[in-house]
Every structure is written in structure tokens, then in C-alpha cells.
């Protein structure tokens, strides 16, 4: 499948969110095949909270080592929905050295409400 443009990825995520069917995995596969992994960090820089929310959801559904850098600032997003979803997406990422470094920064200087959870995540094996 060819890459999908950003508007197409946004539509896929929003369709996924509105779907109550068990068979959502074809939509996730379409997001992946359409370039969702690469688009998510770019979308995270949007001025629009709705687009940042889509970016966080893509990063939650399609974990990738490159997402940690884009998720870290989103956990302090001015939109509480974006911040909450980015936090859940960060939890879902691979435990790489970059992930651990981000969690160490959050535990030390991140949003107050995230510091203790970051320390707990770091203590997990």
C-alpha cells in the first residue's frame, strides 16, 4: 500500500476512534502501511490540538523508537486530552535507552503529576 497523506491518516485515526467493532486491526494495519509511524512525530508539532491528539494516538497504536522524542513534550501539552494520551502512548513505547532517558528527565523535571509514575515505570523490569 502506498503512503497516505496526513489528512488520510487523520481520517483513519478518527474512524478508528469511532469504531466499536472488534475488527479494528485492519485500520491499524492501514495506518501503519500508510506511513503513520513516520507521520506521527510531524503531526505532533501541529498548532491544532486535534492533530496533536491524532499524533499521540498514532504513536500509541504504532510504537516506534523514534516516537519518544515527539511524545516527551506532548505530555506537558496545553490540551489535557493530548497530554493524557501522550502519557499513555509513552508507556506503550519500547524500553530503549532513549525511553529511559526521557523518563529520567520526566521523573526529575517533568509535569508534577507525572514524576512519581515516571519513577515507578523506571523501577519496573
The pLDDT, as a whole number, for residue 20 is 57
DSSP states of 73-93: HHTT-SSHHHHHHHHHHHHTS
46-89 pLDDT, tens digit per residue, is: 999 999 999 999 999 999 999 999 999 999 999 999 999 999 99
SS3 56: helix
Angle among Cα 51, 54, 56 to the nearest 5 degrees reads 115
Please state, in angstroms and as integers, the Cα–Cα distance from residue 86 to each residue in 3, 32, 48, following that order: 24, 18, 15
For position 41, what pLDDT does the model report?
97
Give mean pLDDT, residues 11-27: 73
Q: How far is CA 29 from the centre of its chain?
A: 16
Mean pLDDT, the chain, rounded, equals 91
Residue 22 pLDDT grade (very low, low, confident, very high; cuts 50, 70, 90): low
- In angstroms, the CA 57 to CA 52 distance is 9
Indicate whether this model's pTM tops 0.85.
no
Given a cut of 60, whether residue 8 has pLDDT beyond it is: yes
Between 25 and 93, residue with greater pLDDT: 93
β strands within 10-115, DSSP E? none
Amino acid at each position: 500500500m502506498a503512503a497516505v497523506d496526513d489528512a488520510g491518516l487523520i481520517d483513519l485515526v478518527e474512524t478508528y476512534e469511532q469504531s466499536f467493532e472488534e475488527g479494528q486491526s485492519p485500520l491499524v494495519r492501514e495506518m501503519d502501511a500508510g506511513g503513520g509511524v513516520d507521520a506521527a512525530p510531524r503531526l505532533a508539532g501541529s498548532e491544532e490540538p486535534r492533530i496533536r491528539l491524532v499524533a499521540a494516538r498514532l504513536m500509541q497504536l504504532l510504537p516506534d523508537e523514534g516516537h519518544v522524542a515527539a511524545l516527551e513534550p506532548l505530555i506537558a501539552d496545553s490540551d489535557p486530552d493530548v497530554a493524557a494520551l501522550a502519557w499513555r502512548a509513552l508507556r506503550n513505547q519500547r524500553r530503549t535507552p532513549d525511553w529511559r532517558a526521557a523518563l529520567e528527565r520526566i521523573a526529575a523535571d517533568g509535569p508534577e503529576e507525572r514524576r512519581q509514575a515516571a519513577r515507578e515505570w523506571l523501577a519496573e523490569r
